[in-house]
Amino acid sequence: MGKSRPLEDLRPRTSGQTDCVIANNVSKSFGSVVAVDQVSFAIPNGYFSALLGPSGCGKSTLLRMVAGLIPFEGSLTLHEQPVEGPRPEVGMMFQTPTLLPWRSALENVLLPAVIRGRDEDDRERALHYLHLVGLKDREFAYPKHLSGGMQQRVSLARLLMTGADVLLLDEPFGALDEFTRERLNIELLRIHAEVEATTMFVTHSISEAVFLADEILVMTPGPGRLAGVVKAPFDRPRDIDLMRTPEFTDTVFAVREMLGATI
Amino acid sequence: MTDPIATLEIESGASTRRWPIRVVVHLLTFAAVLAVWVVASNQGWVSERILPPPAEVLESWWNLASKGILADHLGVTLWEVFAGFVIGAAGGFIIAVVASFWADFRSVVWPYMVALQVTPRVAIAPLLFIWLGFGALPKIVLAATICFFPVLINSLTGLMLVDEEADQLFRSLGATRSQRFFRLALPGALPVIFAGLKTSISLALIGAIVGEFVSAQEGLGLLIQRFSFQLNTSAAYAVLLTLTVIGLVLYGLMELADRWIVYWNRDDRLHHRTEHAASKHAAALIRISKNQ
């Protein structure tokens, strides 16, 4: 590999000021199984970071800890406050669209507003987000009548509806075909830039991680540990041509090597 | 618990055929059954005691109906069915809701629920009359105990089926416990709950009739029993056919409620709602397109 591998030694940053998510020796066990073991990282505000690793390395567990959905050991702060439960500034998206079949696309997007007790006022904003994710003319369709890709678009619009500035995405397009996935990834980048959100994106695809992220947190399986961080400092906005550049390939191989060294 | 009649409908493929053909097929089948019945009784293949000719059954029915006898007894039986169904179904549903929230309650109460289910409720009937007298009440209670279990087990199964990620989504949105129940768990459970209700409504009719067999002064069960003892077979058949029609109507009503409430399992209802919403919000859509 090249001499200047974009690797960075991993210690929790101390700057604090500009970091959005800071994890310090975070661990999680399910019974006697250690899922996440002493993980530390810091994600600066507005960063897009990918959480990469093989299946069962605890990356989804880590994401749910940041979301405040499961208890953990160690310290985890978000916007300089310890994570103690779900927060309104955090939005989640899952591998399955998790749409409610009895609600239309629009009503599903309105769900965050409904739960917070104001639905009517937000209808136009919800329609706006549906159009933003490319679902014009399907606003009132029910999930049953939408393709898998369209359902995930609704799910993305619902995420935007939360108004969250920390987006936690758990393999959001993992169940979709390659073409749809690529298209949605590009739209995700556009939206990330537009809402200026800090994003954590769980994936097990190396090229997807390098294409999307500013930095890639590489995780090792059983127990889940952080192997290191690889920077992907490419210009934005990015398009699919980025994948053709030697810099992109170098970064992919750097990640691959780090994964290879840890398995 | 599956819904045997609905399964039958799907397996027979009836719903995939176009309706005029379907209606004709049904009418022809009905005519054929009736023809066999007429021929069988006219030719003396079976004794009139066992199978009276359709005309005689119809005459008996008209006799009973025109004197108002049928209506009086029908009213009594229907009240027992209705009250028994409402009490049994509501009880089953409420216990299921509590059990879905509270695991300890579930494990403590469950054996008793199963014990109640495996005990033939018909065997409780004589005791019910000792406890509750000879009016409508023991029949209502018998119907309720039979109705109770399908609704309980279906409701509990449905309520426990909540998708893990959907629940995490609700929690990440800051949903309260009651929001998670009313906006996620309950609607998700409704299709399964309705399967239980459809089973129960037929069982309620059985409960009421069996109760009337054991001891009654009025009701369709009593009529059937009385006519059978008198060897008045045609009148017994007339009451029996009335019961069949009642059973079909009750089941049909539940089916209608199911289609109406659980609209998201039916493509035609979904398309209708989509179109309705699109026309209702057309103005808002135009406003938004102008802004973009």
Percent pLDDT > 90 in chain A is: 58
Binned at pLDDT 50, 70 and 90, residue A13 comes out as very low
Mutate to test the interface with B, among A95, A109, A139 (most CBs of B within 10 A): A139
**B81 and B35 belong to one structural domain:** no
**B207 and B94 belong to one structural domain:** yes
**B231 and B153 belong to one structural domain:** yes
The pLDDT assigned to A263 comes to: 55
**B88 and B161 belong to one structural domain:** yes
pLDDT at position B107 over 70: yes
The average pLDDT across B13-26 equals 72
Binned at pLDDT 50, 70 and 90, residue A119 comes out as low
**A14 and A126 belong to one structural domain:** no
Contact A154, A193 (CB under 8 A): no
Percent pLDDT > 70 in chain A is: 92
The pLDDT assigned to B8 comes to: 45
β strands within chain A, DSSP E? 7-8, 19-30, 33-44, 48-52, 73-78, 81-82, 90-93, 166-170, 198-203, 215-220, 225-231
Alpha-carbon distance A23 to nearest alpha carbon in chain B (angstroms): 19
**B137 and B222 belong to one structural domain:** yes
Report which of residues A223 and A212 the model is more confident about: A212
The pLDDT assigned to A6 comes to: 35
Q: Which of A94, A139, A140 sits opposite B169 (nearest CB)?
A: A94
Binned at pLDDT 50, 70 and 90, residue B273 comes out as very high
The pLDDT assigned to B155 comes to: 96
Contact criterion met (CB < 8 Å) for B183 and A88: no
Chain B CB within 8 Å of residue A111 CB: yes
CA A238/CA A217 separation, integer angstroms: 20
pLDDT at position B7 over 80: no
Q: Mind listing the pLDDT tens digit for each residue in A30-41?
A: 888 888 999 999
**A255 and A184 belong to one structural domain:** yes
Nearest to B130 by CA among B215, B209, B219, B212: B215
**A79 and A170 belong to one structural domain:** yes
Q: Which two tokens stand for residue B111?
A: 């054996």
CA B64/CA B74 separation, integer angstroms: 11
Number of domains in chain A: 2
Alpha-carbon distance B189 to nearest alpha carbon in chain A (angstroms): 12
pLDDT at position B2 over 70: no
**B140 and B22 belong to one structural domain:** no
The average pLDDT across A144-159 equals 93
The average pLDDT across B4-26 equals 62
CA A255/CA A126 separation, integer angstroms: 38
Of A163, A181, A198, the one marking the end of a domain is A163
Chain A CB within 8 Å of residue B16 CB: no
The DSSP annotation for B171-220 comes to HHTT--HHHHIIIIIHHHHHHHHHHHHHHHHHHHHHHHHHHHHHS-SSSH
The pLDDT assigned to B50 comes to: 84
Contact B228, B50 (CB under 8 A): no
pLDDT at position A184 over 70: yes
Q: Which of A123, A131, A144 sits opposite B292 (nearest CB)?
A: A131
pLDDT at position B13 over 60: no
Chain B partners within 8 Å of A110 (Cβ): none
Nearest to B188 by CA among B212, B215, B166: B166
Nearest to B95 by CA among B34, B149, B54: B149
Tell me, what CATH number does B64's domain have?
1.10.3720.10
Binned at pLDDT 50, 70 and 90, residue A224 comes out as confident
Does B276 reside within a domain?
A: no
**B74 and B142 belong to one structural domain:** yes
Does B286 reside within a domain?
A: no
C-alpha separations of A38 from A28, A196, A200 in Å: 9, 29, 19
Alpha-carbon distance B145 to nearest alpha carbon in chain A (angstroms): 32
Cis peptide before A54 (omega within 30 of 0): no
Does A2 reside within a domain?
A: no
Contact criterion met (CB < 8 Å) for A116 and B179: no
Does B289 reside within a domain?
A: no
Q: Radius of gyration (Cα) for chain B, nearest Å?
A: 24
**A173 and A69 belong to one structural domain:** yes
Chain B CB within 8 Å of residue A104 CB: yes
Alpha-carbon distance B192 to nearest alpha carbon in chain A (angstroms): 14
Binned at pLDDT 50, 70 and 90, residue B134 comes out as confident
Contact B243, B80 (CB under 8 A): no
Q: Which of A94, A115, A140 sits opposite B173 (nearest CB)?
A: A115
Does A1 reside within a domain?
A: no
Of A163, A181, A215, the one marking the end of a domain is A163
**B119 and B232 belong to one structural domain:** yes
pLDDT at position B153 over 90: yes
**B42 and B74 belong to one structural domain:** no
User: What rounded mean pLDDT belongs to chain A?
Assistant: 87
Nearest to B37 by CA among B49, B59, B52, B26: B52
Q: Mind listing the pLDDT tens digit for each residue in B197-218?
A: 999 999 999 999 999 998 888 9
**B199 and B243 belong to one structural domain:** yes
**A176 and A251 belong to one structural domain:** yes
A212 alpha carbon, distance to own chain's centre: 10
Q: Which of B165, B183, B263 sits opposite A96 (nearest CB)?
A: B165
**A248 and A175 belong to one structural domain:** yes
Does B284 reside within a domain?
A: no
How many Cα atoms within 13 Å fall on the side-chain side of residue B67?
8
Alpha-carbon distance B147 to nearest alpha carbon in chain A (angstroms): 28
The average pLDDT across A114-134 equals 85
Q: Mind listing the pLDDT tens digit for each residue in A185-197?
A: 988 898 888 888 9
Q: Reduce the DSSP state of residue A218 to 3 states and report it.
A: strand
Report which of residues B252 and B116 the model is more confident about: B252
Percent pLDDT > 70 in chain B is: 93
Chain B CB within 8 Å of residue A162 CB: yes
CA A25/CA A41 separation, integer angstroms: 9
Of A163, A186, A201, the one marking the end of a domain is A163
**A82 and A172 belong to one structural domain:** yes
pLDDT at position B260 over 80: yes
The pLDDT assigned to A120 comes to: 64
Bridge partners, A90 (sequence order): A166
C-alpha separations of B4 from A163, B127, B198 in Å: 47, 31, 10
Q: Which two tokens stand for residue B84?
A: 């028994």
The pLDDT assigned to A91 comes to: 94
Bridge partners, A109 (sequence order): none
Alpha-carbon distance B172 to nearest alpha carbon in chain A (angstroms): 5
The average pLDDT across A158-182 equals 90
Contact criterion met (CB < 8 Å) for A115 and B264: no
Percent pLDDT > 90 in chain B is: 65
Does B290 reside within a domain?
A: no
Burial degree of B138 (CB within 10 A; 0-12, 13-18, 19+): buried
The pLDDT assigned to A262 comes to: 63
**B21 and B136 belong to one structural domain:** no
Does B280 reside within a domain?
A: no
pLDDT at position A92 over 90: yes
Q: Which domain holds residue B25?
A: 1-46
Q: Which domain holds residue A105?
A: 98-163
ipTM: 0.88
Number of domains in chain B: 2
Mutate to test the interface with B, among A66, A78, A140 (most CBs of B within 10 A): A140
Contact criterion met (CB < 8 Å) for A98 and B165: yes
Q: Mind listing the pLDDT tens digit for each residue in B29-83?
A: 999 998 998 888 888 888 878 888 888 899 999 999 999 889 999 999 999 999 9
Rounded to the nearest 5 degrees, what angle is found at the Cα of B222, between the Cα atoms of B217 and B227?
Answer: 125
Bridge partners, A75 (sequence order): A24
**A184 and A80 belong to one structural domain:** yes
Does B271 reside within a domain?
A: no
Chain A CB within 8 Å of residue B284 CB: yes
**A173 and A159 belong to one structural domain:** no
pLDDT at position B142 over 50: yes
**B26 and B85 belong to one structural domain:** no
Tell me, what CATH number does A28's domain have?
3.40.50.300
Chain B CB within 8 Å of residue A90 CB: yes
